[in-house]
Amino acid sequence: MALSTGRQARLLARTFQHEQIRLGGAYAGFLYELTRRWRQGRLTDKEFITAWIAIEQAGHTQASQHAAQFITNFREAQAMPVTHAAPVLDVFDTGASLGRAVNLIETTNKILRSPLAEARLQRLLQARAAEGHRHVLNAGRDTIEWSTAANGTTWRRVTDGHPCAFCAMLATRDGYLTKESALSVVGGMRGGGRGRRARRRGKRPLGSRYHDYCGCTAVEVLDHWEPTAADRAHQELYEKAREACKDDGLAPTTSNILSKMRELGPGTINDAHTPTYGRRKPGPKTKPSDDTKSAAARPRTQAGGGGGRKPPRRGAGPFKDMPEPPRDPSDGGDRSEWLRYWKERQDALPVDFKGDIVEPHEVVLYERLLRLGEVVTPIKRHVTDPRNDMYWERINAEVENKSAKAKYETIRQRIYSSVKPAKEHGTAPIAKEHFLIDIGHEQLLPELREALSGYNKDRSNFRIKRLFVMHSDGGVIEEIQLL
């Protein structure tokens, strides 16, 4: 059965979006590996700067060219009897890339002279890799913006399906066109065809702002487009937030609307929260006081950020500075020192573990989740009965967490060995249907993604419903489309 034009356009955009995210993750990994080698003394500062610029430029070029091809394919799929302007590629800013590399060297040297230097340095290097991910994706996004301006059309912001309130709000508008984009493209054209270029100057407009590891992309607004259920939910949430501001006598400012979206958005956005005054005891409703309203309207800062600010980038967060882990007891380290370190690191997390002490790899997983803006609640463990590990607000379900190497057989066995005994437990069987697999610093390669998509084949009694993989040092969470 042939796809409708609107659905085909949506599928093209989703495929492009996922490929851009994977591309950004790959180059973030390259930058992180480069900084690691530089820190080991395997590169001089000059060699590091040269390599940094080369990696950023390669990612930028690949992302912008990929976006230009997507624009061509997207327009062809619309089958509109019009002639479009050629795509306009975003220009790589060598000076800005040089500035980032030099700044990283200078900041590293300052940190090395401070207390807890290694822990702070690790967070810095992870954060700069996350910025690299954003710069790669921005090359594709900006290419689409310049191309729509040259074409006399507008563009829409498309989320990855599980956005923060900020991204969901910006995606409710269909026709972005800024004076800056139009003027920059007209002034930046050189030659003809695919060779035209444009470069962004100054501060990015609100609709063109993206936080680290943001999965949003830009898509040209043409005739045919089919909104998803998530799109409609984000639009409805935005309208409810505006209405809630009106009911509470608040001005519909960006900050107030975002605050209301986070109050009303559990299950729809990934940084939602429940306001304190919303958790009432049974009994007649009482109208919130002015002080309570003011508190509700103020920015909330949980794991996902709040109040108009973007979610914290990876490497930030309410975790205290920690030195590097002591040597593992299996490698001759002191067991009591090792246990004490990981207990302190667990206690530094803004999460209630309900008295449970979790394994080190679980501590790292929760750190990564929180720094991505995810809202999770650990589930109290039972001595004999199987239980899932946590409740994940993004999917509104209980989830089993696993850390594994980036190998299909290893991941398959980890999942199967959890599902089967839990379902066949004699006294308290449960369904473990949602899994989050952390593969650490590894990338999620296409071969592994394809293999994991077929996990449910020949497992009629032990199938799972949803499977997520966290990769690129906790920088990206990607859902596997199970067959």
**Average pLDDT across the chain, whole number:** 80
In this predicted structure, the answer to whether residue 438 has a pLDDT above a threshold of 90 is: yes
Percent of the chain's residues with pLDDT above 90: 27
Residue at which a domain ends, from 198, 226, 254: 226
Q: Supply the DSSP string of 247-270, one letter for each residue.
A: HTT----HHHHHHHHHHH-BTTBT
Question: How many structural domains are present in the chain?
Answer: 2
Range with top average pLDDT, 4-13, 189-198, 472-481 = 472-481
In degrees and rounded to multiples of 5, residue 277 shows phi and psi of -70, -10
Position 369, amino acid? L
The band of 106, judged by pLDDT with boundaries at 50, 70 and 90, is very high
Q: What is the pLDDT of residue 317?
A: 33
The band of 314, judged by pLDDT with boundaries at 50, 70 and 90, is very low
In a domain, 236, yes or no: no
How many whole angstroms separate alpha carbon 200 and alpha carbon 146?
9
Q: What is the pLDDT of residue 313?
A: 35
**13 CB contacts (<8 Å, ≥6 apart)?**
70, 74, 158, 217, 219
**Which of 62-71, 76-85, 242-251, 413-422 is least confident?**
76-85
The band of 320, judged by pLDDT with boundaries at 50, 70 and 90, is low
- 372 within 8 A of 477, measured Cβ to Cβ: yes
In this predicted structure, the answer to whether residue 323 has a pLDDT above a threshold of 50 is: yes
pLDDT tens digits, residue range 337-354? 888 888 888 888 888 888
Residue 269: closest CA among 215, 318, 227, 217: 215
Q: In 128-259, at which residue ranges do the beta strands (DSSP E only) sit?
A: 154-158, 197-198, 217-221
**83 CB contacts (<8 Å, ≥6 apart)?**
none
In a domain, 439, yes or no: yes
Look up the CATH number of the domain holding residue 447: 3.40.1350
Residue at which a domain ends, from 226, 248, 277: 226
pLDDT tens digits, residue range 355-412? 888 888 898 889 888 877 788 889 988 777 788 899 988 888 899 999 999 999 999 9
In a domain, 315, yes or no: no
Q: What is the pLDDT of residue 193?
A: 42
Q: What is the pLDDT of residue 192?
A: 38
3-state secondary structure of 279: coil
In this predicted structure, the answer to whether residue 118 has a pLDDT above a threshold of 90 is: no
The band of 276, judged by pLDDT with boundaries at 50, 70 and 90, is very low
Q: What is the pLDDT of residue 197?
A: 55
Mean pLDDT, rounded, for 264-273:
81
The tokens describing 324, both together, are 């590097």
In a domain, 352, yes or no: no
In this predicted structure, the answer to whether residue 331 has a pLDDT above a threshold of 90 is: no
Q: What is the pLDDT of residue 431?
A: 77
Range with top average pLDDT, 189-198, 398-407, 426-435 = 398-407
Q: What is the pLDDT of residue 56?
A: 96
In a domain, 47, yes or no: yes
Mean pLDDT, rounded, for 264-281:
62
Q: What is the pLDDT of residue 181?
A: 42
How many whole angstroms separate alpha carbon 180 and alpha carbon 186?
10
Mean pLDDT, rounded, for 277-303:
39
Domain that holds residue 179: 5-226
Q: What is the pLDDT of residue 460?
A: 67
Q: What is the pLDDT of residue 139?
A: 95
Q: What is the pLDDT of residue 336?
A: 87
**Which of 178-192, 193-207, 246-260 is least confident?**
178-192
In a domain, 415, yes or no: yes
Residue at which a domain ends, from 193, 226, 259: 226
Is the torsion defined by CA of 38, 40, 45, 46 positive or negative? negative
Position 30, amino acid? F
**397 CB contacts (<8 Å, ≥6 apart)?**
391, 433, 434, 466
CA diameter of the chain? 74
Q: What is the pLDDT of residue 95?
A: 93
**358 CB contacts (<8 Å, ≥6 apart)?**
346, 366, 378
The tokens describing 110, both together, are 């300052």
How many whole angstroms separate alpha carbon 59 and alpha carbon 380?
43
In a domain, 259, yes or no: no
In this predicted structure, the answer to whether residue 189 has a pLDDT above a threshold of 80 is: no
Q: What is the CA radius of gyration of the chain?
A: 24
Q: Is 227 exposed, middle or buried (0-12, 13-18, 19+ CB in 10 A)?
A: middle
In this predicted structure, the answer to whether residue 256 has a pLDDT above a threshold of 60 is: yes
In a domain, 382, yes or no: yes
Q: What is the pLDDT of residue 37?
A: 92
In this predicted structure, the answer to whether residue 196 has a pLDDT above a threshold of 90 is: no
